[in-house]
Amino acid sequence: MSNSFDLYALSEEHQAIREAVRDVCDAKVAPHAGDVDELAEFPKAAYDALKASDFHAPHIPEAYGGAGADALATVIVIEEVARACASSSLIPAVNKLGSLPLLLSASEQVKQRYLPPVAAGDAMFSYCLSEPEAGSDAASMKTRAVADGSQYVLNGVKRWITNAGVSDYYTVFAVTDPSARSKGISAFVVEKSDEGVSFGAPEKKLGIKGSPTREVYFDNVRIPADRMIGEPGTGFGTAMATLDHTRVTIAAQALGIAQGALDYALGYVKERKQFGKPIAEFQGLQFMLADMGMKIEAARQLTYAAAARSERNEPDLTYFGAAAKCFASDVAMAVTTDAVQLLGGYGYTHDYPVERMMRDAKITQIYEGTNQVQRIVMARQLLKGLG
Which residues are the active-site residues? 368
Measured over the CA atoms of residue 55, residue 57, residue 61 and residue 63, the dihedral's sign is negative
- Cα separation, 206 vs 121, in Å, equals 28
Work out the angle between the directed axes of helices 317-342 and 283-312 (0-180°, nearest 10): 160
Long-range residue pairs from 34-40, CB within 8 A, at least 24 positions apart, any chain: 34/350, 34/353, 34/356, 36/85, 36/87, 36/88, 36/209, 36/210, 37/87, 37/207, 37/209, 37/210, 37/356, 37/360, 38/350, 39/210, 40/202, 40/204, 40/209, 40/210
CA dihedral 48, 54, 56, 60 (to 10 degrees): 150
Is the CB of residue 233 less than 8 Å from the CB of residue 185? yes
**Would you give the distance in Å from CA 261 to the centre of its chain?**
19
With b for 16 or more beta-carbon neighbours within 10 A and e for fewer, the 198-212 pattern comes to: eebebbebebbbbbb
- Bridge partners, residue 9, by sequence: 6
Establish how many alpha carbons lie within 13 A of residue 94's alpha carbon, considering only the half-sphere containing its beta carbon.
Answer: 31
Q: Is 76 exposed, middle or buried (0-12, 13-18, 19+ CB in 10 A)?
A: buried
Is the CB of residue 318 less than 8 Å from the CB of residue 380? no
Measured over the CA atoms of residue 54, residue 302, residue 291 and residue 90, the dihedral's sign is positive
Work out the angle between the directed axes of helices 108-119 and 86-105 (0-180°, nearest 10): 160
- Bridge partners, residue 144, by sequence: 155, 175
- To 5 degrees, how large is the angle CA 378–CA 383–CA 385? 95
CA nearest 253: which of 340, 156, 366? 366
